[in-house]
Amino acid sequence: MELLKQRILKDGIVRPGNVLKVDSFLNHQMDIPLINEIGKEFRHRFEGVPVTRILTIEASGIGIACITAQYFNVPVVFAKKTQSLNLDSALFRTKVQSFTHNRIYDVVLSKKYLTPDDHVLLIDDFLANGNALMGLIDIVKESGATLEGAGIVIEKGFQDGGRRIRNMGVRVESLAIIDSMTEDSLTFR
């Protein structure tokens, strides 16, 4: 998606540890006209796919998922990161290793909001090593719902997540795939 790539080149900041900061338009301040275009592009790429729910994970996926959901006319559910050990049988649970915070989160979702009748589209801001998506895929499997694919705003193609998830047979549509990045250069696939 050219508009997104140009914005990453203009405003993205590469930080040590292979982290791309996009706080000025996606992760802290949110550029709504841009995210509207992102939502439309996801709709276009998943045209004809029978999505009944969009699933994302706290926190930065939520805004993007909500805007995208308006183009699919379906609810958004987000998996919650929790520290509580409260074993509630009405919850799907999994563990996710966080890329940016270097810790493991317990992630939960109420069984009320994902059923075997659902067709799920996963949405997230970044795909790096694939742990966040793997956690969401676990939850979808546990629920018995059908996974229709994943829409990612920025995939870091030099990390392994995209390959891992696609090798599982999951359709991944990334709007910008970064091949390489350093403090002074960034290239797309």
Whether omega for the bond prior to residue 59 falls within 30 degrees of 0, making it cis, is yes
Q: Which lies closer to ligand 5GP via its Cβ, residue 20 or residue 51? A: 20
Q: Which lies closer to ligand 5GP via its Cβ, residue 98 or residue 115? A: 98
Question: Rule CB under 6 A: is residue 181 a binding residue for ligand 5GP?
Answer: no
* Spatial distance between the Cα atoms of 129 and 98, rounded to a whole number of angstroms: 10
Instruction: Give backbone dihedrals phi and psi of 184, rounded to 5 degrees, phi first.
Output: -120, 5
Q: Between 2 and 21, how does the x/- string for binding to ligand 5GP read (CB under 6 A)? A: -----------------xxx
- Minimum separation from the CB atom of position 134 to ligand 5GP (A): 7
- CA distances to 25, 110, 130, 184 from 13, rounded to whole Å, are 12, 36, 21, 9
* Spatial distance between the Cα atoms of 134 and 150, rounded to a whole number of angstroms: 11
Question: Rule CB under 6 A: is residue 174 a binding residue for ligand 5GP?
Answer: no
- Minimum separation from the CB atom of position 143 to ligand 5GP (A): 20
Residue ranges in contact with ligand 5GP by CB under 6 A: 19-22, 27, 60, 99-100, 124-132, 156, 161
